[in-house]
Amino acid sequence: MTYTSAVAVVIINQKNEILSLLRSETDDWRPLHWGLPGGHIDEGETPFEAAIRETKEECNLDINPIYAGHIMTDENYKIYLYYAVQYSGDIELSYEHSDFKWYSRERLLEVQNRTPLLYTNVCKAFDERSLNEIK
């Protein structure tokens, strides 16, 4: 089976909250769904490079991502998961997004209209101990 490769970036602030972006109403993929910064990996680009590029494009943050592994979704996506606790810049959303929020890990799982399975899989990938260790 062939999978589409993409990246997702878990950006964690000083309060141990995770950045979530709301896709715009006019988005053609998942309008009005909450998700993480990330997207498809361009041809000739590494997942690491894609994580940096997508984060800059979508929310104007410069990050120093750390690879955390990959997850598979039920939509035949292989998502390379990164996390970043080191970032700089002020959040400025691209046309793809209309809002952002910082959510605790627990609250993240309760968010309505979220990208299916992504947050659940992210929280499985980062148990409470590993989140504390990266701080």
What pLDDT does 79 receive? 86
pTM: 0.84
pLDDT by residue for the chain (135 residues), tens digit each? 677 889 999 999 999 899 999 999 987 767 888 889 999 999 999 999 999 999 999 999 999 998 887 777 666 778 888 989 899 999 999 999 999 999 987 787 777 666 656 666 666 665 544 544 544
Q: What is the DSSP string of the chain?
A: ---EEEEEEEEB-TTS-EEEEEEPTT-SSSTT-EE-SEEEPPTT--HHHHHHHHHHHHH--EE--EEEEEEE-TTSEEEEEEEES-EES-----TTEEEEEEE-HHHHTT-TTBPTTHHHHHHHHS-HHHHHHH-
Domain architecture of the chain: domains with CATH: 4-128 (3.90.79.10)
